[in-house]
Chains A and B, each alone.
Chain A
Protein backbone atom coordinates (compact mmCIF):
# COMPACT_ATOMS: atom_id res chain seq x y z
CA UNK A 1 0.00 0.00 0.00
CA UNK A 2 1.46 3.37 -0.90
CA UNK A 3 2.36 5.63 1.99
CA UNK A 4 0.63 8.95 2.53
CA UNK A 5 3.76 10.69 1.25
CA UNK A 6 3.58 8.65 -1.95
CA UNK A 7 -0.09 9.56 -2.21
CA UNK A 8 0.80 13.24 -1.89
CA UNK A 9 3.36 12.97 -4.68
CA UNK A 10 0.79 11.15 -6.80
CA UNK A 11 -1.89 13.84 -6.25
CA UNK A 12 0.63 16.50 -7.29
CA UNK A 13 1.40 14.51 -10.44
CA UNK A 14 -2.31 14.20 -11.20
CA UNK A 15 -2.88 17.87 -10.46
CA UNK A 16 -5.53 17.02 -7.89
CA UNK A 17 -5.28 20.09 -5.64
CA UNK A 18 -8.10 19.22 -3.19
CA UNK A 19 -6.70 15.74 -2.54
CA UNK A 20 -3.13 17.03 -2.30
CA UNK A 21 -4.16 19.61 0.30
CA UNK A 22 -6.18 17.04 2.22
CA UNK A 23 -3.22 14.67 2.27
CA UNK A 24 -0.87 17.43 3.39
CA UNK A 25 -3.21 18.14 6.29
CA UNK A 26 -3.29 14.45 7.22
CA UNK A 27 0.51 14.26 7.13
CA UNK A 28 0.80 17.30 9.37
CA UNK A 29 -1.68 15.80 11.80
CA UNK A 30 0.43 12.66 11.94
CA UNK A 31 3.47 14.85 12.75
CA UNK A 32 5.33 13.67 9.69
CA UNK A 33 8.43 15.93 9.42
CA UNK A 34 7.81 18.99 7.24
CA UNK A 35 11.05 18.27 5.38
CA UNK A 36 9.62 14.91 4.30
CA UNK A 37 6.31 16.43 3.20
CA UNK A 38 8.20 18.93 1.06
CA UNK A 39 10.95 16.69 -0.28
CA UNK A 40 9.33 13.27 -0.52
CA UNK A 41 5.84 14.51 -1.31
CA UNK A 42 5.69 17.82 -3.14
CA UNK A 43 9.12 18.05 -4.74
CA UNK A 44 9.16 14.33 -5.56
CA UNK A 45 5.83 14.79 -7.36
CA UNK A 46 7.04 17.78 -9.32
CA UNK A 47 10.18 15.90 -10.34
CA UNK A 48 8.02 13.30 -12.03
CA UNK A 49 6.00 16.09 -13.66
CA UNK A 50 9.20 17.61 -15.04
CA UNK A 51 10.31 14.26 -16.44
CA UNK A 52 6.93 13.66 -18.07
CA UNK A 53 7.02 17.18 -19.56
CA UNK A 54 10.45 16.57 -21.07
CA UNK A 55 9.33 13.29 -22.59
CA UNK A 56 6.12 14.78 -24.09
CA UNK A 57 3.93 12.72 -21.83
CA UNK A 58 2.74 15.89 -20.08
CA UNK A 59 1.97 19.20 -21.77
CA UNK A 60 1.38 22.69 -20.41
CA UNK A 61 -2.13 22.02 -19.00
CA UNK A 62 -0.98 19.02 -16.94
CA UNK A 63 2.08 20.91 -15.69
CA UNK A 64 -0.07 23.87 -14.63
CA UNK A 65 -2.55 21.84 -12.60
CA UNK A 66 0.29 19.92 -10.99
CA UNK A 67 2.02 23.18 -10.05
CA UNK A 68 -1.28 24.46 -8.66
CA UNK A 69 -1.67 21.37 -6.46
CA UNK A 70 1.95 21.71 -5.30
CA UNK A 71 1.59 25.41 -4.58
CA UNK A 72 -1.63 25.14 -2.62
CA UNK A 73 -0.21 22.32 -0.51
CA UNK A 74 3.02 24.24 -0.02
CA UNK A 75 1.01 27.16 1.41
CA UNK A 76 -0.04 24.85 4.24
CA UNK A 77 3.50 23.91 5.22
CA UNK A 78 5.15 27.27 4.46
CA UNK A 79 4.68 28.71 7.98
CA UNK A 80 6.47 25.65 9.37
CA UNK A 81 9.37 25.57 6.95
CA UNK A 82 11.65 28.02 8.82
CA UNK A 83 11.32 26.06 12.08
CA UNK A 84 11.82 22.76 10.30
CA UNK A 85 15.30 23.88 9.25
CA UNK A 86 14.75 23.18 5.54
CA UNK A 87 17.27 25.03 3.47
CA UNK A 88 16.22 26.51 0.16
CA UNK A 89 18.11 25.08 -2.81
CA UNK A 90 19.08 28.63 -3.67
CA UNK A 91 17.55 31.85 -4.90
CA UNK A 92 16.98 32.43 -8.61
CA UNK A 93 15.63 35.63 -10.17
CA UNK A 94 13.74 35.08 -13.40
CA UNK A 95 12.58 37.67 -15.90
CA UNK A 96 11.79 38.30 -19.56
CA UNK A 97 14.34 40.71 -21.00
CA UNK A 98 13.85 44.31 -22.08
CA UNK A 99 11.45 44.95 -24.92
CA UNK A 100 9.88 41.49 -24.63
CA UNK A 101 6.46 41.10 -23.00
CA UNK A 102 6.06 37.33 -23.29
CA UNK A 103 5.80 35.43 -20.05
CA UNK A 104 4.37 31.91 -20.48
CA UNK A 105 7.76 30.26 -20.80
CA UNK A 106 9.17 32.36 -17.98
CA UNK A 107 6.20 31.46 -15.75
CA UNK A 108 6.65 27.75 -16.45
CA UNK A 109 10.31 28.01 -15.47
CA UNK A 110 9.32 29.83 -12.28
CA UNK A 111 6.83 27.10 -11.36
CA UNK A 112 9.27 24.30 -12.11
CA UNK A 113 12.03 25.95 -10.05
CA UNK A 114 9.66 26.50 -7.13
CA UNK A 115 8.50 22.93 -7.49
CA UNK A 116 12.11 21.80 -7.15
CA UNK A 117 12.60 23.73 -3.93
CA UNK A 118 14.24 26.90 -5.20
CA UNK A 119 13.30 30.33 -3.93
CA UNK A 120 12.31 32.31 -7.02
CA UNK A 121 12.02 36.04 -7.54
CA UNK A 122 9.74 36.59 -10.53
CA UNK A 123 10.76 39.92 -12.04
CA UNK A 124 8.04 39.95 -14.67
CA UNK A 125 8.48 40.99 -18.31
CA UNK A 126 10.31 43.81 -20.12
CA UNK A 127 13.01 43.79 -17.42
CA UNK A 128 15.91 46.14 -18.14
CA UNK A 129 19.59 45.30 -17.48
CA UNK A 130 19.69 47.71 -14.51
CA UNK A 131 16.93 45.80 -12.73
CA UNK A 132 18.80 42.51 -13.16
CA UNK A 133 21.96 44.15 -11.77
CA UNK A 134 19.97 45.51 -8.83
CA UNK A 135 18.46 42.13 -7.93
CA UNK A 136 21.94 40.56 -7.89
CA UNK A 137 23.34 43.36 -5.71
CA UNK A 138 20.43 43.73 -3.35
CA UNK A 139 18.92 40.26 -3.06
CA UNK A 140 22.07 38.23 -3.42
CA UNK A 141 20.49 35.81 -5.91
CA UNK A 142 22.76 32.98 -6.99
CA UNK A 143 21.35 32.60 -10.47
CA UNK A 144 19.49 34.65 -13.06
CA UNK A 145 17.11 33.20 -15.62
CA UNK A 146 16.72 35.40 -18.70
CA UNK A 147 13.87 34.68 -21.08
CA UNK A 148 13.18 35.92 -24.64
CA UNK A 149 10.68 34.78 -27.25
CA UNK A 150 11.80 37.09 -30.02
CA UNK A 151 14.89 37.18 -32.20
CA UNK A 152 14.67 40.97 -31.87
CA UNK A 153 14.94 40.90 -28.08
CA UNK A 154 17.64 38.23 -27.77
CA UNK A 155 20.33 40.96 -27.95
CA UNK A 156 18.96 42.36 -24.66
CA UNK A 157 20.35 39.20 -23.01
CA UNK A 158 23.85 40.17 -24.12
CA UNK A 159 23.25 43.72 -22.87
CA UNK A 160 22.15 42.34 -19.50
CA UNK A 161 25.30 40.22 -19.21
CA UNK A 162 27.41 43.26 -20.18
CA UNK A 163 25.66 45.34 -17.51
CA UNK A 164 26.42 42.69 -14.89
CA UNK A 165 30.07 42.84 -15.94
CA UNK A 166 30.22 46.62 -15.85
CA UNK A 167 28.64 46.62 -12.40
CA UNK A 168 31.30 44.17 -11.22
CA UNK A 169 28.81 41.48 -10.19
CA UNK A 170 29.08 39.04 -13.09
CA UNK A 171 31.13 36.59 -11.00
CA UNK A 172 28.56 36.57 -8.21
CA UNK A 173 25.80 35.00 -10.27
CA UNK A 174 25.18 32.23 -12.79
CA UNK A 175 23.24 33.35 -15.86
CA UNK A 176 20.88 30.94 -17.59
CA UNK A 177 19.03 31.80 -20.81
CA UNK A 178 16.01 30.28 -22.49
CA UNK A 179 13.17 30.93 -24.92
CA UNK A 180 12.03 29.66 -28.30
CA UNK A 181 14.77 31.16 -30.54
CA UNK A 182 17.60 30.46 -28.08
CA UNK A 183 20.27 27.84 -28.69
CA UNK A 184 23.34 26.60 -26.83
CA UNK A 185 25.44 28.28 -29.51
CA UNK A 186 23.81 31.65 -28.84
CA UNK A 187 24.19 31.19 -25.08
CA UNK A 188 27.91 30.52 -25.60
CA UNK A 189 28.24 33.49 -27.93
CA UNK A 190 26.87 35.96 -25.39
CA UNK A 191 28.76 34.48 -22.44
CA UNK A 192 25.83 32.93 -20.56
CA UNK A 193 26.62 30.10 -18.16
CA UNK A 194 23.81 27.84 -19.31
CA UNK A 195 20.94 27.25 -21.70
CA UNK A 196 17.90 25.02 -21.33
CA UNK A 197 15.49 24.06 -24.12
CA UNK A 198 12.44 23.71 -21.83
CA UNK A 199 11.22 24.55 -18.33
CA UNK A 200 11.98 21.14 -16.83
CA UNK A 201 15.52 21.17 -18.22
CA UNK A 202 15.94 24.65 -16.71
CA UNK A 203 15.68 23.05 -13.27
CA UNK A 204 18.39 20.53 -14.14
CA UNK A 205 20.55 23.35 -15.45
CA UNK A 206 20.04 25.46 -12.30
CA UNK A 207 21.02 22.51 -10.12
CA UNK A 208 24.08 21.85 -12.26
CA UNK A 209 25.22 25.48 -12.23
CA UNK A 210 24.76 25.81 -8.48
CA UNK A 211 26.57 22.56 -7.82
CA UNK A 212 23.54 20.68 -6.47
CA UNK A 213 23.05 17.00 -7.12
CA UNK A 214 20.68 16.61 -10.09
Chain B
Protein backbone atom coordinates (compact mmCIF):
# COMPACT_ATOMS: atom_id res chain seq x y z
CA UNK B 1 0.00 0.00 0.00
CA UNK B 2 1.13 3.55 -0.64
CA UNK B 3 0.95 5.84 2.38
CA UNK B 4 -2.11 7.53 0.86
CA UNK B 5 -3.87 4.20 0.25
CA UNK B 6 -3.04 3.22 3.83
CA UNK B 7 -4.62 6.36 5.25
CA UNK B 8 -7.66 6.20 2.94
CA UNK B 9 -8.24 2.56 3.91
CA UNK B 10 -8.19 3.51 7.58
CA UNK B 11 -10.54 6.43 6.96
CA UNK B 12 -12.85 4.03 5.10
CA UNK B 13 -12.90 1.74 8.16
CA UNK B 14 -10.88 -0.95 6.43
CA UNK B 15 -7.79 -2.36 8.11
CA UNK B 16 -4.65 -1.27 6.22
CA UNK B 17 -1.36 -3.23 5.94
CA UNK B 18 -0.09 -1.28 8.94
CA UNK B 19 -1.35 1.48 11.17
CA UNK B 20 -0.98 4.84 9.41
CA UNK B 21 1.21 7.32 11.26
CA UNK B 22 0.98 11.13 11.44
CA UNK B 23 3.52 13.53 12.84
CA UNK B 24 3.36 17.23 12.12
CA UNK B 25 0.62 17.37 9.46
CA UNK B 26 -1.55 19.73 11.48
CA UNK B 27 -1.24 22.28 14.26
CA UNK B 28 -2.64 19.68 16.65
CA UNK B 29 -0.64 16.56 15.69
CA UNK B 30 2.86 18.02 15.69
CA UNK B 31 5.88 18.41 17.90
CA UNK B 32 7.30 21.30 19.94
CA UNK B 33 10.53 22.80 18.56
CA UNK B 34 12.58 21.70 21.62
CA UNK B 35 11.43 18.06 21.44
CA UNK B 36 11.91 18.15 17.66
CA UNK B 37 15.54 19.26 17.89
CA UNK B 38 16.24 16.44 20.37
CA UNK B 39 14.45 13.89 18.20
CA UNK B 40 16.54 14.83 15.14
CA UNK B 41 19.68 14.35 17.21
CA UNK B 42 18.49 10.97 18.49
CA UNK B 43 17.74 9.85 14.91
CA UNK B 44 21.21 10.94 13.76
CA UNK B 45 19.74 13.50 11.38
CA UNK B 46 21.75 16.66 10.69
CA UNK B 47 21.03 19.65 12.92
CA UNK B 48 18.86 22.24 11.27
CA UNK B 49 17.93 25.72 12.41
CA UNK B 50 14.42 25.54 13.90
CA UNK B 51 11.55 26.49 11.62
CA UNK B 52 8.35 27.33 13.43
CA UNK B 53 5.11 25.87 12.02
CA UNK B 54 2.78 27.49 14.57
CA UNK B 55 4.17 30.47 16.49
CA UNK B 56 1.59 30.24 19.27
CA UNK B 57 2.30 26.64 20.19
CA UNK B 58 5.93 26.81 19.03
CA UNK B 59 5.61 23.62 17.04
CA UNK B 60 8.31 22.74 14.53
CA UNK B 61 8.12 22.32 10.80
CA UNK B 62 8.84 18.59 10.42
CA UNK B 63 11.39 18.35 7.63
CA UNK B 64 11.17 15.84 4.77
CA UNK B 65 14.19 13.81 5.96
CA UNK B 66 12.48 13.12 9.30
CA UNK B 67 9.10 12.49 7.66
CA UNK B 68 10.76 9.82 5.55
CA UNK B 69 12.86 8.38 8.39
CA UNK B 70 9.72 7.88 10.48
CA UNK B 71 7.58 6.78 7.49
CA UNK B 72 4.96 9.42 8.14
CA UNK B 73 1.91 8.67 5.97
CA UNK B 74 0.42 12.17 5.90
CA UNK B 75 1.49 15.58 4.63
CA UNK B 76 0.18 18.84 6.00
CA UNK B 77 -0.81 21.82 3.95
CA UNK B 78 -1.51 25.29 5.34
CA UNK B 79 -2.71 28.46 3.69
CA UNK B 80 -0.73 31.67 4.05
CA UNK B 81 -1.29 34.92 5.86
CA UNK B 82 -3.41 37.87 4.71
CA UNK B 83 -1.53 40.52 2.73
CA UNK B 84 -1.95 43.21 5.35
CA UNK B 85 -0.38 41.18 8.15
CA UNK B 86 3.12 40.08 8.96
CA UNK B 87 4.56 38.31 11.97
CA UNK B 88 6.36 40.88 14.12
CA UNK B 89 7.72 40.35 17.61
CA UNK B 90 8.20 42.90 20.38
CA UNK B 91 9.57 42.38 23.85
CA UNK B 92 9.94 43.87 27.30
CA UNK B 93 12.03 42.61 30.19
CA UNK B 94 9.81 39.59 30.90
CA UNK B 95 7.93 38.64 27.75
CA UNK B 96 8.11 38.39 23.99
CA UNK B 97 4.93 39.52 22.24
CA UNK B 98 3.14 39.32 18.91
CA UNK B 99 -0.36 40.00 17.63
CA UNK B 100 -1.96 37.48 15.30
CA UNK B 101 -3.95 38.31 12.11
CA UNK B 102 -7.20 38.46 14.11
CA UNK B 103 -5.89 41.16 16.42
CA UNK B 104 -5.32 38.75 19.32
CA UNK B 105 -2.25 39.73 21.35
CA UNK B 106 -0.05 36.97 22.73
CA UNK B 107 3.01 36.75 24.92
CA UNK B 108 5.58 34.16 26.00
CA UNK B 109 7.86 34.38 29.05
CA UNK B 110 11.41 35.04 27.83
CA UNK B 111 12.79 32.77 30.50
CA UNK B 112 11.79 29.13 30.03
CA UNK B 113 8.84 30.13 27.85
CA UNK B 114 7.35 27.30 25.81
CA UNK B 115 4.30 28.87 24.18
CA UNK B 116 2.64 32.17 23.44
CA UNK B 117 -0.57 32.70 25.37
CA UNK B 118 -3.28 35.30 25.02
CA UNK B 119 -2.72 38.51 26.95
CA UNK B 120 -5.67 40.56 25.76
CA UNK B 121 -9.15 40.24 24.32
CA UNK B 122 -9.93 42.93 21.74
CA UNK B 123 -13.70 42.47 21.95
CA UNK B 124 -13.89 42.36 25.75
CA UNK B 125 -15.71 45.69 25.78
CA UNK B 126 -18.40 44.70 23.26
CA UNK B 127 -21.92 45.13 24.57
CA UNK B 128 -24.00 44.50 21.46
CA UNK B 129 -23.98 42.45 18.24
CA UNK B 130 -23.18 45.70 16.38
CA UNK B 131 -19.93 46.05 18.36
CA UNK B 132 -18.96 42.60 17.15
CA UNK B 133 -19.86 43.32 13.53
CA UNK B 134 -17.86 46.57 13.59
CA UNK B 135 -14.64 44.78 14.57
CA UNK B 136 -11.98 45.19 11.85
CA UNK B 137 -11.87 41.67 10.44
CA UNK B 138 -9.37 40.27 7.95
CA UNK B 139 -10.79 38.98 4.65
CA UNK B 140 -10.93 35.16 4.78
CA UNK B 141 -10.79 35.01 0.98
CA UNK B 142 -7.78 37.36 0.68
CA UNK B 143 -5.89 36.03 -2.40
CA UNK B 144 -2.59 36.39 -0.52
CA UNK B 145 -3.63 33.47 1.67
CA UNK B 146 -3.80 31.17 -1.34
CA UNK B 147 -0.69 32.28 -3.24
CA UNK B 148 1.31 29.18 -4.17
CA UNK B 149 -1.14 26.88 -2.38
CA UNK B 150 -1.91 24.82 -5.48
CA UNK B 151 1.78 24.19 -6.18
CA UNK B 152 2.36 23.12 -2.59
CA UNK B 153 -0.72 20.91 -2.66
CA UNK B 154 0.54 19.21 -5.84
CA UNK B 155 3.97 18.69 -4.28
CA UNK B 156 2.33 17.18 -1.19
CA UNK B 157 0.15 14.90 -3.33
CA UNK B 158 3.24 13.83 -5.32
CA UNK B 159 4.86 12.42 -2.15
CA UNK B 160 2.27 9.63 -2.32
CA UNK B 161 0.99 10.54 1.12
CA UNK B 162 -2.48 11.61 2.22
CA UNK B 163 -2.83 15.41 2.19
CA UNK B 164 -4.55 17.33 4.96
CA UNK B 165 -5.40 21.00 4.66
CA UNK B 166 -5.54 23.20 7.76
CA UNK B 167 -8.27 25.70 8.57
CA UNK B 168 -8.13 29.46 8.79
CA UNK B 169 -8.51 29.96 12.50
CA UNK B 170 -9.38 28.21 15.74
CA UNK B 171 -12.91 26.99 16.46
CA UNK B 172 -16.24 28.75 16.72
CA UNK B 173 -16.22 28.64 20.52
CA UNK B 174 -12.48 29.15 20.91
CA UNK B 175 -12.28 32.22 18.72
CA UNK B 176 -15.28 33.70 20.52
CA UNK B 177 -13.69 33.03 23.92
CA UNK B 178 -10.40 34.51 22.80
CA UNK B 179 -11.84 37.65 21.24
CA UNK B 180 -14.39 38.39 23.98
CA UNK B 181 -12.33 37.05 26.89
CA UNK B 182 -13.13 33.72 28.52
CA UNK B 183 -15.34 34.93 31.34
CA UNK B 184 -17.16 37.39 29.09
CA UNK B 185 -18.06 34.85 26.43
CA UNK B 186 -19.01 32.12 28.89
CA UNK B 187 -21.26 34.67 30.54
CA UNK B 188 -22.68 35.64 27.13
CA UNK B 189 -23.58 31.98 26.57
CA UNK B 190 -25.63 32.01 29.75
CA UNK B 191 -27.10 35.49 29.69
CA UNK B 192 -26.62 37.37 26.40
CA UNK B 193 -27.51 35.09 23.51
CA UNK B 194 -27.65 37.81 20.82
CA UNK B 195 -24.07 38.82 21.55
CA UNK B 196 -22.92 35.19 21.73
CA UNK B 197 -24.65 34.40 18.44
CA UNK B 198 -23.14 37.44 16.72
CA UNK B 199 -19.67 36.22 17.72
CA UNK B 200 -20.34 32.68 16.56
CA UNK B 201 -21.82 33.87 13.27
CA UNK B 202 -18.81 36.05 12.55
CA UNK B 203 -16.48 33.07 12.97
CA UNK B 204 -18.79 30.74 11.04
CA UNK B 205 -18.97 33.10 8.09
CA UNK B 206 -15.19 33.45 8.13
CA UNK B 207 -14.76 29.71 8.00
CA UNK B 208 -17.38 29.18 5.30
CA UNK B 209 -15.82 31.79 3.01
CA UNK B 210 -12.34 30.42 3.63
CA UNK B 211 -13.23 26.83 2.80
CA UNK B 212 -15.12 27.89 -0.32
CA UNK B 213 -12.07 29.61 -1.67
CA UNK B 214 -9.48 27.10 -0.39
CA UNK B 215 -11.31 24.07 -1.76
CA UNK B 216 -11.96 25.80 -5.10
CA UNK B 217 -8.19 26.15 -5.24
CA UNK B 218 -7.05 22.68 -4.09
CA UNK B 219 -10.13 20.54 -3.38
CA UNK B 220 -9.03 17.97 -5.96
CA UNK B 221 -5.61 17.53 -4.34
CA UNK B 222 -6.64 17.33 -0.71
CA UNK B 223 -7.92 14.21 1.07
CA UNK B 224 -8.77 15.64 4.46
CA UNK B 225 -9.57 19.05 5.88
CA UNK B 226 -8.84 19.99 9.47
CA UNK B 227 -11.17 21.91 11.77
CA UNK B 228 -11.09 22.33 15.53
CA UNK B 229 -12.95 23.67 18.52
CA UNK B 230 -12.00 22.81 22.06
CA UNK B 231 -15.33 22.06 23.68
CA UNK B 232 -14.31 20.20 26.81
CA UNK B 233 -11.98 20.06 29.75
CA UNK B 234 -10.49 17.25 31.81
CA UNK B 235 -13.70 16.29 33.63
CA UNK B 236 -16.56 17.51 31.44
CA UNK B 237 -17.71 19.70 28.57
CA UNK B 238 -17.09 23.44 28.88
CA UNK B 239 -20.77 24.17 28.38
CA UNK B 240 -23.83 22.03 28.90
CA UNK B 241 -24.87 19.64 26.12
CA UNK B 242 -28.04 21.74 25.86
CA UNK B 243 -26.18 25.00 25.20
CA UNK B 244 -23.86 23.17 22.79
CA UNK B 245 -26.86 21.78 20.90
CA UNK B 246 -28.62 25.11 20.75
CA UNK B 247 -25.73 27.36 19.77
CA UNK B 248 -22.71 25.45 18.50
CA UNK B 249 -24.01 22.29 16.88
CA UNK B 250 -26.31 23.95 14.31
CA UNK B 251 -23.40 26.10 13.14
CA UNK B 252 -21.12 23.06 12.94
CA UNK B 253 -23.76 21.39 10.78
CA UNK B 254 -23.76 24.36 8.38
CA UNK B 255 -19.98 24.42 8.28
CA UNK B 256 -19.40 20.74 7.57
CA UNK B 257 -22.23 20.49 5.06
CA UNK B 258 -20.81 23.46 3.19
CA UNK B 259 -17.31 21.98 3.18
CA UNK B 260 -18.55 18.65 1.82
CA UNK B 261 -20.43 20.44 -0.92
CA UNK B 262 -17.17 21.97 -2.16
CA UNK B 263 -15.11 18.78 -2.42
CA UNK B 264 -15.23 15.08 -1.46
CA UNK B 265 -12.96 15.46 1.55
CA UNK B 266 -12.89 13.76 4.93
CA UNK B 267 -13.51 16.15 7.82
CA UNK B 268 -11.05 16.04 10.73
CA UNK B 269 -12.26 17.70 13.93
CA UNK B 270 -10.10 18.41 16.96
CA UNK B 271 -11.47 18.91 20.43
CA UNK B 272 -9.52 18.31 23.59
CA UNK B 273 -10.98 16.99 26.80
CA UNK B 274 -13.94 14.87 27.71
CA UNK B 275 -16.10 15.11 24.58
CA UNK B 276 -17.63 11.64 24.90
CA UNK B 277 -21.09 13.09 25.57
CA UNK B 278 -21.26 14.84 22.20
CA UNK B 279 -19.59 12.31 19.90
CA UNK B 280 -23.00 11.26 18.48
CA UNK B 281 -23.69 14.95 17.76
CA UNK B 282 -20.35 15.34 16.01
CA UNK B 283 -21.08 12.28 13.87
CA UNK B 284 -24.49 13.74 13.04
CA UNK B 285 -23.08 17.10 11.88
CA UNK B 286 -20.63 15.42 9.52
CA UNK B 287 -17.40 14.91 11.43
CA UNK B 288 -15.57 11.91 9.93
CA UNK B 289 -12.46 11.99 12.10
CA UNK B 290 -12.10 12.81 15.81
CA UNK B 291 -8.86 14.13 17.28
CA UNK B 292 -6.98 14.15 19.69
CA UNK B 293 -8.92 11.51 21.68
CA UNK B 294 -7.66 12.71 25.07
CA UNK B 295 -7.44 9.35 26.78
CA UNK B 296 -6.77 10.81 30.24
CA UNK B 297 -10.00 12.84 30.26
CA UNK B 298 -13.18 11.58 31.89
CA UNK B 299 -15.01 8.92 29.88
CA UNK B 300 -12.44 8.85 27.08
CA UNK B 301 -11.41 5.23 27.48
CA UNK B 302 -10.29 4.00 24.08
CA UNK B 303 -11.82 0.54 24.43
CA UNK B 304 -15.27 1.97 25.09
CA UNK B 305 -14.93 4.68 22.44
CA UNK B 306 -14.05 2.14 19.76
CA UNK B 307 -16.90 -0.16 20.83
CA UNK B 308 -19.49 2.61 20.96
CA UNK B 309 -18.49 4.86 18.06
CA UNK B 310 -15.81 3.03 16.06
CA UNK B 311 -18.13 2.19 13.16
CA UNK B 312 -19.15 5.80 12.63
CA UNK B 313 -16.08 7.89 13.35
CA UNK B 314 -12.34 7.56 12.80
CA UNK B 315 -9.99 8.15 15.74
CA UNK B 316 -6.89 10.13 14.80
CA UNK B 317 -4.89 10.27 18.02
CA UNK B 318 -5.31 8.64 21.39
CA UNK B 319 -2.22 6.55 20.64
CA UNK B 320 -0.55 7.29 23.96
CA UNK B 321 -1.45 9.31 27.03
CA UNK B 322 0.46 12.58 26.91
CA UNK B 323 -0.39 14.00 30.30
CA UNK B 324 1.69 11.41 32.13
CA UNK B 325 3.01 8.44 30.18
CA UNK B 326 4.68 10.10 27.20
CA UNK B 327 6.52 12.86 29.08
CA UNK B 328 7.13 11.07 32.40
CA UNK B 329 6.89 7.33 31.79
CA UNK B 330 9.79 5.01 31.03
CA UNK B 331 10.22 3.79 27.42
CA UNK B 332 8.83 0.46 28.60
CA UNK B 333 5.71 2.11 29.99
CA UNK B 334 5.34 3.96 26.69
CA UNK B 335 5.54 0.67 24.76
CA UNK B 336 2.93 -0.98 26.98
CA UNK B 337 0.62 2.00 26.76
CA UNK B 338 0.93 2.28 22.96
CA UNK B 339 0.29 -1.43 22.50
CA UNK B 340 -2.82 -1.20 24.67
CA UNK B 341 -4.17 1.76 22.68
CA UNK B 342 -3.39 0.01 19.38
CA UNK B 343 -5.23 -3.10 20.57
CA UNK B 344 -8.20 -0.89 21.39
CA UNK B 345 -8.25 1.34 18.32
CA UNK B 346 -6.53 -0.31 15.35
CA UNK B 347 -8.67 -3.42 14.63
CA UNK B 348 -10.83 -2.99 11.53
CA UNK B 349 -9.24 0.31 10.53
CA UNK B 350 -10.76 3.61 11.54
CA UNK B 351 -7.56 4.70 13.25
CA UNK B 352 -4.61 6.93 12.38
CA UNK B 353 -1.82 6.95 14.93
CA UNK B 354 -0.88 10.13 16.70
CA UNK B 355 -0.21 10.82 20.35
CA UNK B 356 -2.74 13.02 22.10
CA UNK B 357 -2.06 16.53 20.77
CA UNK B 358 1.37 17.94 19.97
CA UNK B 359 4.40 16.26 21.49
CA UNK B 360 5.55 18.76 24.09
CA UNK B 361 8.96 20.12 24.99
CA UNK B 362 9.34 17.82 27.99
CA UNK B 363 9.04 14.55 26.06
CA UNK B 364 12.36 12.67 25.86
CA UNK B 365 13.32 11.38 22.39
CA UNK B 366 13.69 7.82 23.68
CA UNK B 367 9.98 7.87 24.54
CA UNK B 368 9.05 9.18 21.09
CA UNK B 369 11.12 6.41 19.52
CA UNK B 370 9.63 3.78 21.84
CA UNK B 371 6.20 4.99 20.72
CA UNK B 372 7.13 4.92 17.04
CA UNK B 373 8.83 1.52 17.14
CA UNK B 374 5.79 0.00 18.82
CA UNK B 375 3.50 1.34 16.10
CA UNK B 376 5.76 0.10 13.33
CA UNK B 377 6.11 -3.37 14.84
CA UNK B 378 2.38 -3.73 15.51
CA UNK B 379 0.56 -6.32 13.44
CA UNK B 380 -2.57 -6.76 15.52
Q: Do A and B originate from a single complex?
A: yes
- Cα–Cα distance between A147 and B131 once the two chains are bound (Å): 34
Q: Which of B190-243 contact A (CB under 8 A)?
A: 190-191, 233-240, 243
- Cα–Cα distance between A15 and B322 once the two chains are bound (Å): 37
- The answer, among A56, A107, A198, for a CB contact under 8 Å with B183, is A107
Tell me the minimal C-beta distance from B155 to chain A in angstroms. 34
- The answer, among A61, A151, A180, for a CB contact under 8 Å with B233, is A180
Tell me the minimal C-beta distance from A126 to chain B in angstroms. 6
- Cα–Cα distance between A102 and B272 once the two chains are bound (Å): 16
B4 at the A interface (CB under 8 A): no
B117 at the A interface (CB under 8 A): yes
- The answer, among B186, B235, B322, for a CB contact under 8 Å with A198, is B235
Tell me the minimal C-beta distance from B65 to chain A in angstroms. 27
Q: Do the beta carbons of A61 and B190 come within 8 Å of each other?
A: yes
B94 nearest in chain A by CB position:
A126
Contacts of B234 in A (CB 8 A): 180, 197
B191 nearest in chain A by CB position:
A65
B239 nearest in chain A by CB position:
A59
- Cα–Cα distance between A150 and B239 once the two chains are bound (Å): 22
- Cα–Cα distance between A49 and B166 once the two chains are bound (Å): 39
- The answer, among B186, B323, B361, B362, for a CB contact under 8 Å with A61, is B186
A178 nearest in chain B by CB position:
B234
Q: Do the beta carbons of A181 and B323 come within 8 Å of each other?
A: yes
Q: Do the beta carbons of B183 and A197 come within 8 Å of each other?
A: no
Of B189, B190, B238, the most chain A CB neighbours within 10 A belong to B190
Q: Do the beta carbons of B107 and A101 come within 8 Å of each other?
A: yes
B187 at the A interface (CB under 8 A): yes
Q: Do the beta carbons of B186 and A151 come within 8 Å of each other?
A: no
Q: Do the beta carbons of B362 and A152 come within 8 Å of each other?
A: yes
Contacts of B190 in A (CB 8 A): 15, 61-62, 64-65
B117 nearest in chain A by CB position:
A101
A99 at the B interface (CB under 8 A): yes
B280 at the A interface (CB under 8 A): no
A155 nearest in chain B by CB position:
B362
Q: Do the beta carbons of A59 and B119 come within 8 Å of each other?
A: no
- Cα–Cα distance between A101 and B119 once the two chains are bound (Å): 8
B48 at the A interface (CB under 8 A): no
B113 at the A interface (CB under 8 A): yes
A-B contact pairs, 21 of them (CB 8 A): A56-B236, A59-B237, A61-B187, A61-B189, A61-B240, A61-B243, A62-B190, A68-B187, A99-B109, A99-B113, A101-B118, A104-B183, A107-B183, A150-B360, A151-B322, A151-B323, A151-B327, A151-B328, A152-B327, A152-B362, A181-B324
Chain A residues within CB distance 8 Å of chain B: 15, 56, 58-62, 64-65, 68, 98-99, 101-102, 104, 107, 126, 150-153, 180-181, 183, 197-198
